[in-house]
Amino acid sequence: MIRLQSERGQATVMTAIFIVVLLGMAGMVLDVGAWFRQQRVSQATVDSAALAGAQALPGDPARARQIASDFAAKNGGVDGATFTISSKWRPNDMITVSQTGTGSGFFSRLFGVSTVTVRAHASAVTEIPTEVNGAAPIAVDIHHPMLSGPGCPCMNVPTEIPLGKKGVPGGFGLIDLDQSDSGTAGNSTVSDWVTNGYQGYLPTGGYFSDTGAKFTANQVQDALVGRYNTDLLFPVYDSITDQGSNATYHIVGWVSFHISLTQANGNDGSLSGYFDNVIWDGVVSNSGPSDPAIPDLGVSSVALID
């Protein structure tokens, strides 16, 4: 009988120990969850800071650091953060933001763990995009004097983009951005692409001519007027093959044009404004510059790569 009482006492002790262990493990889970949330907040901070800073690269590394630091300060804090400019594929094309902090534990102290180190790291690059979103359907000749003249491309210099006949029947400087409909876009579609840009990522390559001088249509002219004092993204071509509905522009890159005036007269017309440097929504290849290389005409995109 005495032995049975002793066994009941042992069971009570063991139960108490198990309860303590279970409570400790539950508490440890809470601490680990808190550390994980802290790391995710820090990761979001360095991600956004790197993307913000990359917009000033490669031209102004000092400003890129400052932008990244300011952005981090407003979105989680800069304690333990470092900002490094380096070269990935071009000089000064990458910014890396790293942050190290300390996570405190409460229940984890039962297991001898009072603090842990919380780390976050992000690298963003500024590169010429291989694909772009939001393009407008007006094609620009790569031989435009402000793109390929001496010392160019030349940005922020007033100039004109000629609209009109391009030397092939049916070619008037408009391209069909929808490669599935073979040059049959109507005035409403062209005007929508001017107003809102083509909604989809477009690569370089062959695009059918949108035959006819649709830029003279009132609907398209109104769309161009509505974009005054804003940037439009235009495809840049180096050659045109075939003719009529089969005329194909060979698109080799993209350029931003800040439009200030549009004019149309019969089958001729022009856009006035200037080419400029922009950060645009585009796809950056993880493997580096495209082959053949897309010419640098002032359009860049930013992307996290690490």
Per-residue pLDDT tens digits for 257-271: 999 999 998 889 999
Of 241 and 106, the one with more pLDDT: 241
pLDDT of res. 103: 55
| Local confidence band at 230 (pLDDT 50, 70, 90 cut-offs) | very high
Between vectors from CA 259 to CA 255 and to CA 260, what angle results, nearest 5°?
Answer: 160
Of 282 and 7, the one with more pLDDT: 282
Of 245 and 68, the one with more pLDDT: 68
Contact residues for 278 (Cβ-Cβ < 8 A; gap 6+) = 231, 233, 256, 298, 299, 300
Is pLDDT of 37 > 90? no
What amino acid occupies position 103?
A: G
| Local confidence band at 11 (pLDDT 50, 70, 90 cut-offs) | low
The torsion of the CA quartet 102, 107, 111, 117, rounded to 10 degrees, works out to: -10
Mean pLDDT, rounded, for 2-23 = 53
SS3 222: helix
Q: Partners of 270 in the beta sheet?
A: 162, 263
Q: Partners of 208 in the beta sheet?
A: 248
Number of other residues whose CB lies within 10 A of the CB of residue 152: 14
- Enter the tokens of residue 48: 């956004």
208 with 183: CB under 8 angstroms? yes
Mean pLDDT, rounded, for 157-166 = 95
pLDDT of res. 117: 81
pLDDT of res. 143: 96
For the chain, the average pLDDT equals 86
299 with 233: CB under 8 angstroms? yes
Contact residues for 239 (Cβ-Cβ < 8 A; gap 6+) = 249, 250
Mean pLDDT, rounded, for 207-235 = 94
Contact residues for 26 (Cβ-Cβ < 8 A; gap 6+) = 107
Choose the weakest-confidence range: 21-25, 213-217, 240-244, 296-300: 21-25
| Local confidence band at 152 (pLDDT 50, 70, 90 cut-offs) | very high
- Report the chain's terminal Cα–Cα distance, integer Å: 69
SS3 54: helix
* Residue that is written with structure tokens 């989809």 in the block: 200
- Enter the tokens of residue 157: 């210099």
Write down the pTM of the prediction: 0.83
The torsion of the CA quartet 244, 247, 253, 258, rounded to 10 degrees, works out to: -10
Of 14 and 48, the one with more pLDDT: 48
Torsional sign, CA 137, 138, 139, 140: negative
Choose the weakest-confidence range: 62-71, 105-114, 189-198, 210-219: 105-114
pLDDT of res. 286: 81
| Local confidence band at 109 (pLDDT 50, 70, 90 cut-offs) | low
